[in-house]
């Protein structure tokens, strides 16, 4: 079972004053935000347009590197191309470090990281045409990105659920190195909950309890009546762990991810 986003008709007193001022960001509007040097102008207005209107699927792969801080909004076209080459070399160096592990290091890496990654990637988004079928090369690309990320950030390593976050990035960006660095930006600028017992998870649940108390008081009262188990909100843990990735159809899950990324402040 999956959820779906509904937009009921609300009186103007209950909607944000800018709710209907922005349309979905399309190709022509996106291009108008660039000056002759390739720098994004009116970055705040652009992010608001994405927050309220979303992004045309045709340009998601171009917009996300900005939202996820791979590219800075004030970078020129030439600077971005130079950055891509620099980051591609850095990514190859990370991969070479992984491939050059000693037998002892590789054995430990397999036990702590690779065993779980290998199990997860073959189960991630296989109904999506981008990952469908036996021996699909995109599955192997996703696997490499996750293994290399564990080398890049050994303190985090790999946590179950990361494959669900890499998959939509790879589907849209469709370049291994660029997707890797977009994923790095996502991980560095959002709270990734690595375990349901994590204190960050409890903080998110605390916010959710307060929202329920304010917005759905009768439901909050029902949970309170159920006692401590009710207020644990166990049915919400996966929502937070995977940014609603498995709770909505792909198109709507991507819309949620775009909206969340658009509120990240610029560097």
pLDDT in tens, 136-177: 999 999 999 999 999 999 999 998 889 999 999 999 999 999
Lowest mean pLDDT segment, chosen from 85-89, 194-198, 251-255: 194-198
Q: Which residue has the higher pLDDT, 8 or 49?
A: 49
Question: Is-contact 94 152, C-beta < 8 A?
Answer: yes
Torsion of Cα atoms, 194 then 209 then 235 then 156, to 10°: 0
pLDDT in tens, 113-130: 999 999 999 999 888 899
pLDDT in tens, 84-124: 999 999 999 999 999 999 999 999 999 999 999 999 999 99
pLDDT at 264 over 60: yes
Indicate the pTM of the whole model.
0.85
CA 140-143-149 angle, to 5 degrees, is 145
CB neighbourhood size of 60 (10 A): 20
- For the chain, give the percent of residues with pLDDT over 70: 90
- Measure the CA–CA gap between 224 and 255, rounded to whole angstroms: 32
Q: Over the chain, what is the mean pLDDT? A: 89
- Measure the CA–CA gap between 182 and 66, rounded to whole angstroms: 9
Give domain limits for the chain: 20-67, 77-189, 199-238
What does the pLDDT read at residue 241? 78
**Range 77-189 classified under CATH 1.10.8.270:** yes
Band (pLDDT 50/70/90 cuts) for residue 245 is confident
What does the pLDDT read at residue 2? 63
Highest mean pLDDT among 56-70, 121-135, 226-240: 56-70
């Amino acid at each position: 079972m999956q959820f779906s986003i509904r937009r009921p008709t609300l009186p103007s007193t209950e909607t944000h004053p800018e709710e209907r001022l922005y349309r979905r960001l399309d190709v022509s509007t996106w291009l108008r935000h660039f000056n002759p040097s390739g720098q994004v102008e009116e970055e705040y207005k652009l992010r608001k347009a994405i927050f309220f209107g979303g992004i045309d699927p045709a340009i998601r792969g171009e917009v996300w590197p900005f939202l996820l801080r791979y590219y800075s909004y004030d970078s020129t076209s030439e600077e971005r191309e130079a950055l891509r080459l620099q980051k591609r070399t850095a990514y190859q160096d990370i991969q070479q470090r992984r491939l050059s592990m000693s037998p002892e290091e590789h054995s430990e890496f397999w036990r702590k990281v690779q065993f779980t990654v290998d199990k997860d990637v073959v189960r991630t988004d296989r109904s999506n045409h981008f990952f469908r079928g036996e021996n699909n090369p995109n599955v192997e690309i996703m696997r490499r990105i996750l293994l290399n990320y564990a080398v890049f950030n050994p303190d985090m390593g790999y946590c179950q659920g990361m494959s669900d976050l890499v998959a939509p990035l790879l589907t849209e960006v469709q370049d291994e190195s660029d997707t890797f660095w977009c994923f790095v930006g996502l991980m560095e600028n959002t709270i990734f909950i690595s375990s349901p017992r994590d204190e960050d998870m409890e903080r998110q649940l605390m916010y959710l309890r307060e929202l329920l108390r304010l917005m759905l008081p009768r439901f909050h009262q029902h949970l309170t009546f159920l006692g401590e188990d009710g207020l644990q909100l166990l049915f919400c843990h996966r929502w937070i762990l995977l940014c609603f990735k498995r709770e909505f159809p792909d198109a709507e899950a991507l819309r949620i991810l775009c909206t969340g990324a658009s509120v990240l402040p610029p560097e």
